Amino acid sequence: MYLTSHHVASPITGHEGVNSFLYSHGAHTWQTPPTDIPDKNPGALMAQSISVRPPGNRVRSYLDIVAPDEIRWDEVRVGLMTFVGESQRTALPWIGQCGRCHFRLGMDHGLAQHWQKEVAVLYRASQALRLANAG
Amino acid sequence: MSTAETDFLGRYRQLMNELLIVREAEGGDLPIEVESAYVERLDALWWQLSVEQQAAYEAELASAPAPASDEELHLFDCEVNEGDRVLPRKAA
């Protein structure tokens, strides 16, 4: 599974919102996240939640989550919080692995001033899309 | 400082992050029993920190520097459709 949420801004209207995308890797599972996911192998797009219609929106922040399709959300949450705790005193973007999950988090300077709120926004959008398409 | 002491501080920092992020994700309020459970765990961890670690954490909070980041990410989103095997964003 590759689950990503983008905080985007339309270059035309200036409207901002969060778009989320859920990709599936089917039965492909792992204990250590494969290095080719997502950049070389994003999987097949299974669902998306669109607030500001692509293409061409500026991405102001993103949260990437790579995990086995069958993973329970609790495992993702614990991994993400560990990843954030270990990364928070370093420069963005943050990239790291916790257990069976791989995470990437980036945001522009303006959003980084309130980074915990931004993580919450991206986390909530990701969780909503995943839970709406679980099982 | 021993590894165990460092780990308590790491766990405290992680749990505090989790509380702030989960609370924000729920719109600013958590059910009282969930909030209380977090506070209880934070309190238990706090008293496992040394006086020096407590002071260090409070200083960390007081200064609370935002993580360094580029002014712009120079990324744009892409239109994708169900079944596509392409990324939904690309570099400018």
- Interchain CB contact of A46 with B (< 8 Å): yes
Q: How confident is the model at residue B72 (pLDDT cuts 50, 70, 90)?
A: very high
Q: Residue A118: its pLDDT value, please? A: 95
| Domain coordinates in residue numbering, chain B | 3-63
Average confidence (pLDDT) over A75-82: 92
pLDDT digits (tens, 9 = 90+) for B6-61: 588 888 988 988 899 999 888 888 999 999 999 999 999 999 999 999 998 888 88
- The domain of A113 spans 2-132
Contact B77 A91 (CB under 8 A): no
Contact A81 B10 (CB under 8 A): no
| CB of B73 closer than 8 Å to CB of A104 | no
Angle at A75 between CA B88 and CA A60, to 5 degrees: 30
Contact B21 A121 (CB under 8 A): no
Residue of B nearest to A54 (CA): B79
Q: Residue B1: its pLDDT value, please? A: 44
Instruction: Give A55 or B27, the one with higher predicted confidence.
Output: A55
Tell me the nearest-neighbour CA distance from A75 into chain B, angstroms: 13
Residue type, A134: A
Residues whose CB is less than 8 angstroms from the CB of residue A113 and which lie 6 or more positions away in sequence, other chains included: B66
Q: Residue B25: its pLDDT value, please? A: 87
Most confident of A86-90, B42-46, B78-82: B78-82
Neighbours of B25 (CB within 10 A): 21
Residue of A nearest to B92 (CA): A58
Q: How confident is the model at residue A125 (pLDDT cuts 50, 70, 90)?
A: very high
Residue A40 reports pLDDT greater than 90:
yes
Burial class (CB in 10 A: 0-12, 13-18, 19+), B34: middle
Average confidence (pLDDT) over A98-110: 97
Average confidence (pLDDT) over A21-30: 94
Q: How confident is the model at residue B63 (pLDDT cuts 50, 70, 90)?
A: confident
Contact A54 B24 (CB under 8 A): no
Average confidence (pLDDT) over A87-99: 94
- Interchain CB contact of B41 with A (< 8 Å): no
| Pairs across A and B, CB distance < 8 A | 135
Domain count for chain A, please give it: 1
